[in-house]
């Protein structure tokens, strides 16, 4: 949630806080009468003593106070990233699109992959009647069922070359979708009624 810099980014943010803000956070005042900004080492010790669930919950609570409730009408997009100092681990994050409202995240251990972690993350997202988008790695039957059958979400999964035969199945079940930009010679304005012409802007 804070990017790959972690404690360093938090320490930089803390330096920008006013004396009143530092006092409100409960930072102890120095004998000289001012409130110091927590250092990177302080944040490192703090985060190492917390669980991911505690950090995630605190971030969601703060976001709700600042931005209000999560927008229910927006898409939910899940994407995995590997932080630079991650030690082989990656983080799967869910955000609302286009607002970039943070919805939750989960650590992907280097002994596994994103697929089972995504299914666990679904439980935190309250995806009922929402569109959920994932990349081609998650184009799995079980993943689709976990989204559609249990919470009642709508899934949008990317199709590549797996599982085998999926392209043929889609071509049989779905009519051909016209291109967004048809070739020259076809009607360049398919949404206009017949006989109408676009007006100059």
Domains contained in the chain, CATH given: 1-49 (no CATH), 71-173 (3.30.420.10)
Query: Does 73 have pLDDT greater than 70?
Result: yes
Residue 5 pLDDT: 55
| Sign, Cα dihedral of 72, 133, 107, 37 | negative
- Specify the range with the lowest mean pLDDT, choosing from 55-64, 108-117, 168-177: 168-177
Residue 87 pLDDT: 60
Enter the tokens of residue 106. 């989960």
Residue 21 three-state SS: helix
Query: Does 201 have pLDDT greater than 50?
Result: no
Most confident of the following: 44-53, 145-154, 180-189: 44-53
Tokens 């302080």 locate to 42
* DSSP H helical ranges for the chain: 7-15, 19-24, 40-48, 52-67, 114-125, 141-148, 166-173
Report the DSSP beta bridge partners of residue 76: 96, 132
Q: Supply φ then ψ for residue 187, to 5 degrees.
A: -60, 115
Most confident of the following: 73-87, 102-116, 156-170: 102-116
Judging by DSSP bridges, how do beta strands 90-97 and 101-108 pair with one another? Answer: antiparallel
Residue 127 pLDDT: 75
Residue 178 pLDDT: 60
| Overall pTM > 0.75 | no
| Phi/psi-derived region of residue 33, left when phi > 0, alpha when psi is between -120 and 50, beta in every other case | left
Angle at 134 between CA 128 and CA 138, to 5 degrees: 105
């Amino acid at each position: 949630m804070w990017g790959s810099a972690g404690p360093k980014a938090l320490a930089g943010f803390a330096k920008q806080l006013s004396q009143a803000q530092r006092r409100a956070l409960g930072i102890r005042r120095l004998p000289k009468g001012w409130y110091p900004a927590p250092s990177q080492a302080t944040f490192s010790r703090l985060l190492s003593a917390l669980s991911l669930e505690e950090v995630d919950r605190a971030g969601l609570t703060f976001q709700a106070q600042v931005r209000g409730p999560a927008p229910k009408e927006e898409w939910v997009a899940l994407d995995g990233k590997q932080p630079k100092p991650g030690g082989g681990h990656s983080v799967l994050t869910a955000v609302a699109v286009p607002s970039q409202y943070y919805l939750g995240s989960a650590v992907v251990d280097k002994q596994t992959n994103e697929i089972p972690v995504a299914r666990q993350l679904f439980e935190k997202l309250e995806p009922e009647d929402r569109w959920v988008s994932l990349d081609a790695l998650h184009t799995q039957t079980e993943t689709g069922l976990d989204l559609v059958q249990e919470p009642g979400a709508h899934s949008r999964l990317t199709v590549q070359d797996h599982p085998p035969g999926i392209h043929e199945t889609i071509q049989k079940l779905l009519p051909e979708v016209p291109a967004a930009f048809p070739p020259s010679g076809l009607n360049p304005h398919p949404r206009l009624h017949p006989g109408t012409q676009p007006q100059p802007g």
